[in-house]
Structure 1
C-alpha cells in the first residue's frame, strides 16, 4: 500500500516503522528535515519536508496515488485538516487522524465525509489508559487483549509459582479439566520456545494464553501466584494519561497523583474528586515517595512524558517496596532493556495504538489486530467467509491449513448471541463459515501470508 504519514514525532515514527516492516511504500511529511533524514537512515521510507496540510506538499508526497493518509502531528487541528485535504482534493480512500481531544473524538458529525472526512481515529492516550486499566484489573498479567467483542482473551503472564509451572503443556488438560485454554507461545530468556505438548513451563517463562474471557482469572492463577487485588495506586505524572486513568479508577482504587507543575496540580484538583490526593512534587523524590508510603502501594505508575524520569521514579518506587511498577517508555531500546527487570512492565504509548491502526490496513476480513512484544509479534482475528470452493479456510481441518513457522491458531469463536462459544481447536477441527479465528503470529513479517487466508476468491479451488 502507498501510505502517507504526517508527523515524524514519537507516534509517527512508530507507525512508520511498523508499516515499513510490512513492505508498504511509506512517505513521511514533516517540517524537520534532520528528523526525516534520521528516519530515512533507519527505515525504508521517503521523507518530504514541508507543511503537510498544503496541497502542493501532499502532491509532492504522492497523495494522488495514496491508499491511506495518516495524520500523526502533535495537534488535532492539523490532523483533521490533512484528512480533509487528502479526501477533498486527492480523493484518498482511507484517512486516519490521531486525536487527543474528546470533543473531536465524540463529535462524529465533525468527522464524517461532510466534515473533516476522517475514516478512523487513533488516540494513543486512550489506548494506554485502556491497556493499563486491564493490568490493574488483572495484576498478574503483563498484557491482556480481547477479541470477538470481548468473548475471547489473549493473556501474557510470567510463570511464577502457579500449579502449571514445571508441567508440560500436555499435562495441563488433566491438571485443569475445567479450564479451556491454549498456550500459543512461550518465551524463555527473551527467546521463543516452540509450544509443543512436551514443552515444559518453567519459572520466568513469558506465556501467551488464549481462553474464554470468563476464565481469565483461572488461567492467570494457574500460571502465576495469585496477586491481591489492586486497591492503592500512585501515579507519577498528571498529564493526559494520568488524568484519564485516575478518572477511570475513581470507583475502584485509592489514587494519589504526583505532579511537578503547580498549575497542572490546580487543574487536576478541579477535575477530580477530593478523594484523589494531588501532590505537588517530583516522582523521583525519595523523601516524597517515602513520606507518601509508596511501599504500601499495590501499583506505582510512572506516566510522565520523559522516559528517563519514568525509569528513575519506577525503579525508586520498586526499591522502596511498591508492589508492581509500570513505566511509560517511548524509546524501544529502553523498553526492551527495562521490561521484566526492576520495572515489571514497560509500555510504549505509540505501540498500544498500532493494533487499532493495523486493523484498518489488513487485507481480507480482519476484525481485530493486537500488537505484541512491543511490535515484533501480532495476534490477528479474522472471519472465515465463503465456502469450501471460494475460501482457503472454510471446510478445512486445522491440520490442512498452512501457516508460517511458529504461527498458531489459538481459538475459534463460533456462533452469535447466546449460541456463541469459544473453542480451543484441535488438529481435526473443521472451520465453518463465519467462524472468528484468532491466530498468533510471532514474526510480524509473516502477517501478509496469514492475511491471504481470509481473502475469498471466486477462482480458488484448493
Structure 2
C-alpha cells in the first residue's frame, strides 16, 4: 500500500521508516527539507518539500493513489486541514491526525477523522505511574477515553455467565485469562474459579464496574 505522511518530525520519520521496513510505499511531506535527514540515508521513499495541505504538494506525494494518510506535523490546524483534504477531496479511506488539544480531538472524531491526542494520552500514562490508584490497567486507547482493566471478581460470580456480569456492570468483557491463557469469551461463557477478567471501561464508569465486580454491590448477584 502507498502511505502519505505529512510531517517529518520524530513521529513522522519513525512511521515512515517502520512502514518502509514492512514493504509499503511511503511519501513524506514537510516544509523544511532538512527534516528529511531524520529518515536516514537508506530511505527509499518519496520526499516532498512544501505545505502539507497544499493540493499540488499532496498530489506530488501520490495522494491520488494513496491507501492511507497520516497528519503528524506540530500544528493541530495543519493536521486536521490536511486530514480532511485527504479524506474528503482525494477519497483516502484510512486517515489519522495527531492532535495536541484533547478538546479539539473530540470534535474532529465526530467529523469522522480518527485522532491521536498525544498530550492527554502521555499525561494520563505519567499520572498512573506517579500516583497509582490500585487499578490494574493493561491498555488505554490513544485518545485516553477507553481502557481495559482487570476486574477482580467476588467469589459469588463463579458459576455465572459473562452475560450476567456484563448486564450487571453495564460494561463489556474484553477477554479473560484462564489457566494462563488468553481467551475470548462469549456471553454464555461460565466464569470459573481462578479466571482473570478484563473489562472495557471509561474513566467515568471504571469505579462502578469494579465495585460491582468485586462484590461491594452484591444486590442482584
User: Is the TM-score greater than 0.5?
Assistant: yes
3-state DSSP of counterpart to 2:149: strand
Q: What are the residue-to-residue correspondences of 1:41-440 with 2, within 5 Å? A: 231-252=1-22, 253-265=24-36, 267-269=37-39, 271=40, 273-318=42-87, 319-339=89-109, 341=111, 344-353=113-122, 356-357=125-126, 360=129, 361-363=132-134, 366=136, 368-371=138-141, 374-382=143-151, 391-392=154-155, 395=158, 397-398=160-161, 406-416=170-180, 420-426=181-187, 429-433=190-194, 435-440=195-200
Question: CA offsets per residue over residues 319-350 of structure 1, 9 Å max, x none?
Answer: 12333221112223322222253x53122113
- Quote the Cα distance in structure 1 between the aligned partners of 2:156 and 2:49: 58
Shift of 1:455: 7.0
440 and 347 in structure 1: CA distance in 2 versus 1, 3 angstrom threshold: same
Count, aligned residues: 212
- Quote the Cα distance in structure 2 between the aligned partners of 1:280 and 1:357: 35
- Quote the Cα distance in structure 1 between the aligned partners of 2:178 and 2:43: 47
Structure 1 contact 259–282 (Cα < 8 Å) conserved = yes
- Quote the Cα distance in structure 2 between the aligned partners of 1:392 and 1:405: 16
Unaligned stretches of 5+ in structure 1?
1-230, 385-390, 457-461
- Quote the Cα distance in structure 1 between the aligned partners of 2:107 and 2:139: 25
Structure 1 contact 393–454 (Cα < 8 Å) conserved = no
393 and 402 in structure 1: CA distance in 2 versus 1, 3 angstrom threshold: farther
- Quote the Cα distance in structure 2 between the aligned partners of 1:412 and 1:354: 28
Structure 2 contact 105–115 (Cα < 8 Å) conserved = yes
- Quote the Cα distance in structure 2 between the aligned partners of 1:393 and 1:250: 52
393 and 241 in structure 1: CA distance in 2 versus 1, 3 angstrom threshold: farther
Larger relative contact order (Cα-Cα within 8 Å, sequence gap ≥ 6): 2
1:446 paired to 2:216: no
401 and 357 in structure 1: CA distance in 2 versus 1, 3 angstrom threshold: farther
Shift of 1:449: 3.4
- Quote the Cα distance in structure 1 between the aligned partners of 2:84 and 2:156: 48
3-state DSSP of counterpart to 2:20: coil
TM-score scaled by structure 2?
0.77
3-state DSSP of counterpart to 1:429: coil
3-state DSSP of counterpart to 1:339: helix
TM-score scaled by structure 1?
0.40
Structure 1 contact 381–436 (Cα < 8 Å) conserved = yes
284 and 377 in structure 1: CA distance in 2 versus 1, 3 angstrom threshold: same
Shift of 1:316: 1.8
RMSD, aligned CA: 3.3
